[in-house]
Structure 1
């Protein structure tokens, strides 16, 4: 039987094998180039989009805060206008004299509030008085019964509405409040605000606001105003026409199409049609009340350019690496040929060099080990120096942050008292009550001196200086702390008790003299601790139906224990271990720095005492333990110290600011 012979394959030919390997290598390099370019494009695109979203979030937060601040500033103005006697009288009897007085009043209010227009509407929908009564476009006599802000206010609610004026043809935001007289709604007070200033700062990147129907009524691109982000149902269009919200504007959809939906409230949209239509990263956020939405539009073109450039640079880098590898391979082949030729020459001298090589091997090995050790030691020393520099820098930054935050935390209460005293002094001077004004000015001077002491004490806290020989009456410190927190203590039941050893508790009179209750601590630092503890207790009982704080002073033979107990929810178990750590706080952002308990604990330690905390049956308890100072020969020193510090404590012991 004859076996047929197979034809040889080109891959089996010895001369074709290197060519095939080169083709396979080139194909693999091309695939690698495509993968690297795709990866570079993806990373650059994602990085650019993330940066756009971050910038859009910052712009959105800034613009939202500005817009909401403007709206909230005027939220109560219609209510105040409606409560004025002139408005009440003109709604009860709209005779010409009262109408003229109301017009002048509204004109003055509108000028000082910097609003667009302020006007009063009767219960039947007719405007009877307005701040623009002098102009040709006066609202007086116009019927507004069809406007939603009038309908909402007539029902007893706050009316909020954005629309184009039927008389002035100017867009504005309307805020309305019902006007009540003897419990009955007799009219509506309205304030119109001009929001056309929005958003004039970021014209390069579109920014717009839509109402609850999706109609764009504020935009940095004028051509997009009074367009819709989506088609409107027929009933919504009819409602807009009925209320004349946008007057005679042609409400048409914005020519936008979503190309890609991203995570969160963000999309890639194209505005217009065609390949050259611009694309934007659209992010949305709700403003709350009113039901508006802020939309930021960030151009995607810079991200595309950056991704394209990154891909091109990556491709060039990849090709350069491939060429470098090819050059290295060719050079290596040449080196192998040179080495091979040298080996043939060296073989003749091998016998002669063996003895020399044997003697030099040990020396070479020792030299290599020494070089490695020197290099390792040099690298270790460099890392040690770098680590020391970083630790020194971190220590400087931490100290600077603690000092700045501590000063801010401790000066809040005296600054608030300074504001109250200064306001009351102005009122006293206007009334001619110069004695009361003089007392307040003395209190302001005392508070200023007290703030200087606080700064000096914070320096002691940072430097860990140990105060020596300081003594403070506990009753006076409690009285000063309660006086400084007087406004916050309104509506809170405060119980002051005194326990002497194992005896029964008695009531503690903060205005009484207790020469036996003297603690070895500076009086200002003791007041700092009590203010922090009582302030935390007030935060814990905030919102409770029957808030209560108990301050108990327990006199032991060698120590004084001052406990502050509240009937709040207590301290969670996971918070207890970190309670006295600096910058640790459970409060919301902007309500606390997390330094109060850390500073208080540090003060207690510096005075030779301690500050502890635990949960009771109905709340949290903070116990401040200080060494007790016996009154014998030192009694004169205590009395002298009390007299010397009386000027610095006047701010704390003064009554609540007079109205």
Structure 2
């Protein structure tokens, strides 16, 4: 194996080792990170277990204290109910007895430390209370709506918890009926205020919650957690709680528990969001707790302790940071040692690489196909490779120490080869790079070879030099000449073809103009054909007014001879009206018969229909065809009034022809208007025989007609289709289920934007 091959194998092995080391580092980093995380989790779980043991003992103590404290009050209503003064006050209602009872209840409360004691009559009205001296006294207030009253009045001991509607204090209520013989005459109630227990356990290192059967916080060491629910309550449950007035208008909201995970069978780890004040600013803080719960059977409540995990989490984070820092420092020291060893190894490899690179570069320079010349800092020729001598066909040893222009001449006379360092730097600055490229010739001893010269600056350790590369362009120049000649020939052929296309375009424009003229003549022919078909009806329409004019004129002369000027004046008015009517008929036919192109604009659909009806009415009267026109819906389309009238006249004429060929007694034509978001639809429906399958296929083809011989040219529907399409619409035909045919003309709705767009285009 050659020395160069051995070098490549060595570099390949080094790269493979580097790749393996990199992945080894990645694996070690992952394993270390997992170890730190799992170790922290294990230590955290161990500390939480110790905290759970301590907190569970505190939970049992707290539950025992709460049960024993409340249990001593549950028999107080029974003792009060057996008091003779209570029965006497309820039975007689004397003020002196009630006053004495108020003082006794006040003294009992002071001794037992109960919150309130009071007596209710059968209507639920408070007749005596321990707080009779206070402003918010219960005396005179009715508590018949409370469940503890309803239970006691039915002869059962009552229990209830609620927010007081009068005192606005939370409490647990015990009640017992007051008997007079076998009859219930009232209810004795004792309220236990839970605030005293909250104060007793407020400064502990844990938080506690007292939950009612619905899961609502009834008592807590944190006042802002009161009336929050830990679970989910349905709408019916919330409505039931509101109707009972248990919490007297307090809103029941869910406690912001954002994370909840069981730790073991008796505890959970939960995270709660809480608004806290920091430096006068309210911030949202996430707090972690270990929650343990147990029931209080006496109250049917559940008590929970929330032990904060902040200290444990901070200790675990600190442990992880210290451990990670130690691992990082160890890794850095190991990395520094590896880096130093690698630097020494790379320095040795670099020296060896330099020697081999120099040999490799020399070999490349000697064997490359491009001509290479090196210049010193003064742009004098230093060396050259054999390829340059091969290009000129002669040895170039005499040129060493000469300037480059003795060997190379550029094609452009204005492009002078740089002969000094300042000229080179100026040219490089103009290009933005330190490379110059020129085309020219290698000229030496009557030899001239076309080449492309590239000159670039080389920054060597101790001096500046330049490398000049020459590429033979003999073949390229020949190809360029061939391409240039081919381009000239192609341009000549393009000119000839362009001249032919221009002549063809001129002939095509002439044919288009002739086609347009033919189309206008066909439309005019169709109009005149319709007018010819309507001539009989027109004569009838004009003959009737003329006969009436002659009659009115003769009578008018007689009235004048007799001096009856008023009757003569009335006859002249009738003659004038008949003249206007005849003029209107003739004007409609003149407008219908005029030539012209389609002029787009806003037109009223109903106006076009009325214009067509004025032309076709005589024929329909003569043929005894009933013409039904829908109501005016105020539709406006974009089109030409005269051409739309022509289309409608053609459709009405076809409908009349179809009915004339049918022997049925029903002779009716219906014109309706419909609308979509973008189009207006005008439908013409007849009661004729309908369209055959052959007629449906070729209906709009020129010179096709399904009428009897001599009744049509077959141009009406073809011309109508062209007119409708020129106005941006469509025309279609189909058979009706009830018999006859229906022709539909769809035209675009008029909008000012469409007119503006056409004007701009």
Q: Give the alignment's TM-score, normalised by structure 1.
A: 0.44
Q: Which has the higher strand share?
A: 2
Q: Which is greater in Rg?
A: 2
Q: Which has the higher contact order (CA 8 A, sep 6+)?
A: 1
